[in-house]
Structure 1
Amino acid sequence: MKALKYINILITGIFLMSCDDQIYPELNDAPEVIVVDAWVNNKPEDQIIKVTRTQPYFDNSESVGVAGAEVYIVDNEGTRFDFVESTNGAYVWPYATETFGTVGNSYSLTVVADGNTFTSTSALNRVPTVDSVTFRFEKESAFGTEEEFYMGEFWSRDPEGTGDTYWIKSYKNGQYLAKPGEINIAWDAGFSAGGAIDGLIFIPPIRDAVNPFDEDPNEEDTFLSPYEDGDSLYVEVHSITPAAHNFLTQLYIQIDREGGFAALFDTPLSNVPTNIVNTTSDDIALGFFCVSAVEGNGKRLDVSQVPQEE
């Protein structure tokens, strides 16, 4: 039995050593594909749609924009919004005095580029108000050390009636929390359609997902407090379509990868499903079109105003 145990250890050691070898696969360049990044909302600011081309997998340079495209949106009432070409594939609807869109309307996107016409549709759904943003003090003990945190959260109630979907965006000191693991989406007041959580305040994991958890560069396996005295937190709730909720779910799966040995068991890399349709030819496009209503609220942390445990 001991011999069998030693053999198992030896085999495991050989397997782990074999995982140390790095490989650099040569990938054939795939044909370029147009990408339409069309997330439009009713915030009082310019709305931007980006039309770019795909690039090789290991190319980390900025995507190349598509010039000379025609980009416009038409709502169900016949109002047309023309997006004017700016730089590097950005097409802008300039905000003047009126915000884009009306809740309850539907919108059709058209992009004409490279001899092809790409189309998509989206509804502009309702969004709840963000009643407040608050902070709380927490103390945790682990491995003989005690850590203190200031955590932020937002308070908002999903309206009654199932099927509302949201993308919650958070900003610390004006900086958008854009890490893959910080994608925060909700179906009604919970995570998914099967949760049956309707007409309630968003559940705690969604409220708490507005906190950044960064490792302390000076101490291994230690995390910094998400917020310190004087830091600000601003939270926006964007209404999205169920299709956009699925798109962001799949996007999260594709890009939130820790690497290492566990990566062997991750879902294989693949293109995320798109709602951009080529009506001219069989050439595919990537990207997504969604129109959102937005509500937000924020607060600056004053530790003297936060109750602390005795």
Structure 2
Amino acid sequence: MKPLYRIILIIFSFLPIVSCLDEIKPDAEFEPQVFIYGYLINNTDHIKITIQKTVPVYNTNLDPVNDASVSLFTQDTFGTIALLTDDFIVNNGVYESAEMITGLVGNKYWIKVVLQDGTTYESEHEQLKIPVRITNIERINGFSRVGFRDPDNISNFYLVGYRFYNDSELIATHFELSSDNLFDGNENAFIETEYIDGNGIGISLQNLNFLTYQYYVTSFEQYENQVDFGNPETTDPFLIFSKPPVNLIGNIRNTTANETALGFFGVFSVDYREAIFN
């Protein structure tokens, strides 16, 4: 898997096609859409939410939205709904909460975004799940394996982030997605990826909600099929056209138009551990 920041960037622009092709601009008039991205996890930190408008494929500049109203809500385990904050500081389309927010396991969280024209967006009310704790990290037959106890009779969706180090220097980052369909309730569950040479590793195990998981699935598919088409000396560059682009739709709705929108506000728990290998 590729670093997530590279995946997110493909929403706004694509790699230029080989120079021997003539540029052809679409005949249809481009209609920008709002893209919203952010998350809340089981810690205490400032919440950051990015709001941008999509741009034509031949435009390499971003189009930030700096005049929206953003609110963060929660619902506790007793069903009480409360506004956590609507005080955000905006810089180039990134809205950061003025105060630090503590994510409480069991509570539901969602955001509401209102544009200057009154268009309103709202994310799904997602629950912050119990963190799934990492029990061991191993290097086995060329693979880095993270072990954990998967909760029984509960559908869980995981995003595992691997950070490989050599003498404290970061040398590579990988991500793996997995559901627990094949190991539900297994006390010795594991997810692995190919090991990168080095003597240290840091692993984050993220327990996602389903819609956030689906968003990452389509994001990874978009990147693999549209951008990372291999070595130009050994791979047909026109594989970039092998599949049409997918819409990166997550858990945001345009409640004004009653339709799905682009992006997501993820609510998920994270456990993190590091290991050193001789």
Give me the whole-angstrom Cα distance separating, in 2, the residues matched to 1:120 and 1:290. 9
Specify the alignment match of 1:6 in structure 2.
Answer: none
- Match of residue 60 from structure 1: 60
Deviation at 1:247, TM superposition (A): 1.7
* 1:87-166 correspondence runs (5 A): 87-94=91-98, 96=100, 100-114=102-116, 115-121=118-124, 122-136=126-140, 138=141, 151-166=143-158
| 1:197–1:135 Cα change, 3 Å | closer
What is residue 202 of structure 1 aligned with on the other side? 189
Q: Are 2:203 and 2:272, in contact at CA under 8 Å, matched by a contact in 1?
A: yes
- Alignment correspondent of 1:169: 161
Cα pair 1:168 1:184 within 8 Å, conserved: yes
- Report the Cα distance in structure 2 between the residues aligned to 1:107 and 1:283, rounded to whole angstroms: 20
What is the aligned partner in structure 2 of residue 86 from structure 1? 90
Computing the radius of gyration from Cα coordinates, the structure with the larger value is: 1
Q: Please tell me the root mean square deviation across aligned C-alpha atoms, in Å.
A: 2.9
Residues 252-302 of structure 1, C-alpha deviations (whole Å, 9 max, x = no match): 11111343437267331131223211122368631012211111101233x
The structure with the largest strand share of the pair is: 2
Query: 1:176 & 1:100 partners in 2: Cα distance?
Result: 32
Alignment of 1:1-310 (within 5 A): 22-28=21-27, 30-61=30-61, 63-76=62-75, 77-82=80-85, 83-94=87-98, 96=100, 100-114=102-116, 115-121=118-124, 122-136=126-140, 138=141, 151-173=143-165, 182-188=174-180, 195-200=181-186, 201-203=188-190, 206-208=191-193, 211=195, 226-229=196-199, 232-257=200-225, 258-259=228-229, 260-261=235-236, 263=239, 266-281=242-257, 285-301=261-277, 303=278
Confirm or deny: 8 A CA contact 2:42 2:269 kept in the other structure.
Answer: yes
**Farther off after superposition, 273-282 or 110-119:** 273-282
TM-score relative to the length of structure 1? 0.68
In structure 1, C-alpha distance between the alignment counterparts of 2:156 and 2:258, rounded to whole Å? 33
Identity of aligned residues (%): 19
Question: What secondary structure sits across from 1:256 in the alignment?
Answer: helix
Distance in 2 (CA, whole Å) between partners of 1:72 and 1:20 is: 45
Cα contact 2:219–2:248 (8 A) shared by 1: yes
Amino acid at match of 1:103: V
Structure 1: segments with no counterpart, 5+ residues: 1-18, 139-148, 189-194, 212-225, 304-310
Q: Is the 8 A contact 2:145 2:192 kept in 1?
A: yes
Distance 2:215 2:63 in 1: 23
Shift, 1:51, TM fit = 0.9
Q: 1:60 to 1:94 in 2, by over 3 A?
A: same
Q: How far off its partner does 1:94 sit?
A: 4.9
Q: Which amino acid aligns with 1:126?
A: I
Report the secondary structure of 2:95's partner residue: strand
Q: Distance in 2 between matches of 1:285 and 1:236?
A: 28
CA drift of 1:42 comes to: 2.0
Structure 1's consecutive aligned runs of 4 or more residues displaced over 6 angstroms after TM superposition are: none
Contact 1:45 1:94 in 2 (8 A): no
- Relative distance call for 1:170 and 1:43 in structure 2 (3 A) is farther
Q: CA deviation at 1:81?
A: 2.3
Partner of 1:220: none
